[in-house]
Chain A
Amino acid sequence: MNDRPGGRRRLEARRPPAVAIALAAVALVFFVLPLVGMLIRAPWSDLGDQLTEPATRDAFRLSLECSLAATMLAIIFGTPLAWVLARVEFPGRRLARACVLLPMILPPVVGGVALFLAFGRRGVMGQYLDDWFGIRLPFTTGGAIVAETFVSMPFFVITVEAALRGLDERYEDAAATLGARRWTRFRRVTLPMIAPSLVAGAALAWARAIGEFGATITFAGNLAGKTQTMPLAIFLAFETRPEAAIALSLALVAVSLAVLVSLRDHWLRV
């Protein structure tokens, strides 16, 4: 053994433990390997044909439309909800927050069943939607959007709520002493100061929405061109045309990576 200062023992003390390194490496491989597998098995020769097939293009378009619509809804309704949860004291606030967060841990299929019981044609709310407004959500694109909103909005709400809680309210006080009314304070001080979290929350919600499967298939069904989004199309194709499934998966990976990269520098710390 070498006990001199500056000798092996000193170097060993600084080295990270081997067990941690080994386990971390396993975890990393676990994440990388599926991607590699997809790249190796991808039908590169007829990838273009697979992706330009009308059914594929429909699914792709539907996925983008539904996920963007769901993200918009999450922003429009989620921002006020986050504000109320962060700023307004009311009895049952903790319960309200728990209800908002529930879809994050609820199995999506269960979410789909619950949505069906609420907004289905005989649902608590659904029968009135149908009777009064002629709106039917199950097995429509609207239903797919509702399902995606249900599972993705919580991600937006918790991100924005955390930002609002972390924001020093005295900035709004300062704006008030400068003559700014409530809406001006929100628009010119609060919103810009939580902008990074708004973007991050929207990106998370969108990512969750575009990957949504269980709630969509349960509540909105699997109708090509109407409710069959990419994940549904991939699942279906995987049985019969694995090459098509891989091609679609690659397309989703590409879109997700593009979003991650474009947001990285400005908004997300990745």
Chain B
Amino acid sequence: MTLHAQVRVSLGHLNLEVDITAANGETVVVLGPNGAGKTTLLRAIAGLIPIDAGQITLDGTVLDEPGTDTWVATEDRSIGFVFQDYLLFPHLSALENVAFGLRSHGQSRRSAREAARERLVGVGLGDHADARPGALSGGQSQRVALARALVLEPRLLLLDEPLAALDATTRVEVRRELRRELDRFAGARIVVTHDPIDALALATRVVIIEHGQVQQSGTLDELRARPRSRFIADLVGVNLYRGTLADDRLHTADGAELVVVNDDDIRGDAFAVIHPEAVVVHREEPAGSARNAWRGTITDIDDQGRRSRVLVDAGIPITAEITQAAKSTLDLRVGSEVWVSVKATEIATYPV
């Protein structure tokens, strides 16, 4: 089962122009800042808004195509939707929420309730079957919302910011549960999020959209290896520079010079990417083999468990990822004068 969607929608200031595919067993994460058009994309796929141009097909069936005036209503699309704040019906119990879709598809009250109860027991909420949504925690609500969508065995599952409504403490746990649930679902799934950590945890493939346009798409490894914008580089946490490449030198617009290994003999406008793990921080001027060494000042230190990300202003901004141990040995603080070095072989270049 595969979704092919070419979505063209104009809505207020937003001009959404996104092509997206999702195949069985795949979790496609749509990542982008707020207002990029992510929710609108999901709503168009689900048929909650019509597209202005393009085409949406699921398993070869055209669901929406303005060109041929084809339209399949939301209720006939067999697409599950988990909304950002779950939108459990507040006047119905958890059980009745899960049974709602089965009842809408014509099942008897009894068989719908039985199937719903089985689902709830399956996600560990058998004890909460009679609870109203108001009495459920965020994580429990999410499981009910997921059960409500999955009990209909949809062909495609859409999740809009499934973790945004949760507080930080439950998020980690719920994210892991969600991952398990998604893996168990055989169809294709599309998850929308603004949080790169969610993307890392859930994605088979990532599509990054900004201002209604796809900036880049690919697996996370591909994005880390060759980000094509500052936004993406920041999301995946790598240093990205853009400049003019000639022989083994990249000259950035701010006048910095990077020594690189230009095996493919690229010329002209190019990107250079440096992974923070490859950046070495020194107290004294380094005398090693590294071809790139700059003097600079530490402007920020971000401790992440046993690692620290140290941002150095060295004419160009560069982030180094070092161990906490190294940080204390070198006595690094914001404002410290340091040297940073990168071997030319650690810098990947590719044309714009």
Q: Tell me whether A180 and B89 are in contact (CB under 8 A).
A: no
Q: Is B320 an interface residue (CB 8 A)?
A: no
Q: Known: A192-B91, A193-B91. Is A176-B148 also a contact (CB below 8 A)? A: no
- Residues in A neighbouring B152, C-beta threshold 8 A: 178-179
B50 to chain A, nearest CB (A): 13
Q: Tell me whether B148 and A178 are in contact (CB under 8 A).
A: yes
Interface size on A, residues (CB 8 A): 18
In-complex Cβ contact of B100 among A180, A181, A195 (8 A): A180
Q: Known: A173-B48, A173-B74, A174-B81. Is A180-B104 also a contact (CB below 8 A)? A: yes
- Residues in A neighbouring B91, C-beta threshold 8 A: 192-193, 195
Q: Tell me whether A193 and B101 are in contact (CB under 8 A).
A: no
- Residues in B neighbouring A179, C-beta threshold 8 A: 75-76, 101, 104-105, 152
B91 to chain A, nearest CB (A): 4
B165 to chain A, nearest CB (A): 14
- Residues in A neighbouring B81, C-beta threshold 8 A: 173-174, 177
Q: Tell me whether B100 and A193 are in contact (CB under 8 A).
A: no
| A180 to B100 Cα, complex, angstroms | 8
Q: Tell me whether B87 and A184 are in contact (CB under 8 A).
A: no
| A180 to B75 Cα, complex, angstroms | 6
Q: Tell me whether A177 and B80 are in contact (CB under 8 A).
A: yes
List 29 A–B pairs whose Cβ atoms lie within 8 Å, in order of A's numbering.
A170-B87, A171-B87, A173-B43, A173-B48, A173-B81, A174-B83, A174-B87, A176-B47, A176-B73, A176-B75, A177-B46, A177-B48, A177-B74, A177-B75, A178-B100, A178-B149, A178-B152, A179-B104, A179-B105, A180-B101, A180-B104, A181-B104, A188-B104, A189-B89, A192-B89, A192-B91, A192-B92, A193-B89, A193-B90
Q: Given A180-B100, A193-B90, 4 other A-B contacts at CB below 8 A?
A: A173-B43, A173-B81, A176-B75, A178-B75
Q: Is B3 an interface residue (CB 8 A)?
A: no
Which partner residue on chain B sits nearest A170 by CB separation?
B87
- Residues in B neighbouring A170, C-beta threshold 8 A: 83, 87
Q: Is B274 an interface residue (CB 8 A)?
A: no
Interface residues of A in 175-207 (CB under 8 A from B): 175-181, 184, 188-189, 192-193, 195
A220 to chain B, nearest CB (A): 40
A193 to chain B, nearest CB (A): 6
| A47 to B46 Cα, complex, angstroms | 67
| A178 to B86 Cα, complex, angstroms | 13
Q: Is A49 an interface residue (CB 8 A)?
A: no
Q: Tell me whether A178 and B101 are in contact (CB under 8 A).
A: yes
Q: Is B79 an interface residue (CB 8 A)?
A: yes
On A, residues with C-beta under 8 Å from B are: 168, 170-171, 173-181, 184, 188-189, 192-193, 195
| A139 to B80 Cα, complex, angstroms | 59
B102 to chain A, nearest CB (A): 9
On B, residues with C-beta under 8 Å from A are: 43, 46-48, 73-77, 79-81, 83, 87, 89-92, 100-101, 104-105, 148-149, 152
Q: Tell me whether A176 and B48 are in contact (CB under 8 A).
A: yes
- Residues in B neighbouring A176, C-beta threshold 8 A: 47-48, 73-75
| A220 to B256 Cα, complex, angstroms | 92
B146 to chain A, nearest CB (A): 13
The 9 closest A-B pairs by CB, nearest first: A178-B101, A177-B81, A176-B74, A180-B104, A179-B104, A174-B87, A192-B91, A179-B75, A179-B105
Q: Tell me whether B149 and A177 are in contact (CB under 8 A).
A: yes
A117 to chain B, nearest CB (A): 44
In-complex Cβ contact of A184 among B43, B46, B74, B104 (8 A): B104
| A178 to B100 Cα, complex, angstroms | 7
B60 to chain A, nearest CB (A): 21
- Residues in A neighbouring B75, C-beta threshold 8 A: 176-181
A254 to chain B, nearest CB (A): 33
Which partner residue on chain B sits nearest A173 by CB separation?
B48
| A189 to B101 Cα, complex, angstroms | 12
A63 to chain B, nearest CB (A): 34
- Residues in A neighbouring B104, C-beta threshold 8 A: 175, 178-181, 184, 188
B13 to chain A, nearest CB (A): 20
- Residues in A neighbouring B74, C-beta threshold 8 A: 173, 176-177
B163 to chain A, nearest CB (A): 18
- Residues in A neighbouring B46, C-beta threshold 8 A: 173, 177
A166 to chain B, nearest CB (A): 13
- Residues in B neighbouring A188, C-beta threshold 8 A: 100, 104
| A180 to B96 Cα, complex, angstroms | 14
- Residues in B neighbouring A175, C-beta threshold 8 A: 89, 100, 104
| A175 to B74 Cα, complex, angstroms | 10
- Residues in A neighbouring B87, C-beta threshold 8 A: 168, 170-171, 173-174
- Residues in B neighbouring A173, C-beta threshold 8 A: 43, 46, 48, 74, 81, 83, 87
- Residues in A neighbouring B105, C-beta threshold 8 A: 179
A169 to chain B, nearest CB (A): 10
Which partner residue on chain A sits nearest B49 by CB separation?
A173
- Residues in B neighbouring A184, C-beta threshold 8 A: 104
Q: Which of A176, A178, A180 is most buried by chain B, counting CB atoms within 10 A of its CB? A: A178
- Residues in B neighbouring A177, C-beta threshold 8 A: 46, 48, 74-75, 77, 79-81, 149
| A193 to B90 Cα, complex, angstroms | 8
Which partner residue on chain B sits nearest A178 by CB separation?
B101
Which partner residue on chain B sits nearest A171 by CB separation?
B87
Q: Which of A170, A176, A188, A189 is most buried by chain B, counting CB atoms within 10 A of its CB? A: A176
- Residues in B neighbouring A193, C-beta threshold 8 A: 89-91
- Residues in A neighbouring B149, C-beta threshold 8 A: 177-178
B217 to chain A, nearest CB (A): 25
A206 to chain B, nearest CB (A): 24
Q: Which of B73, B100, B105 is most buried by chain A, counting CB atoms within 10 A of its CB? A: B100
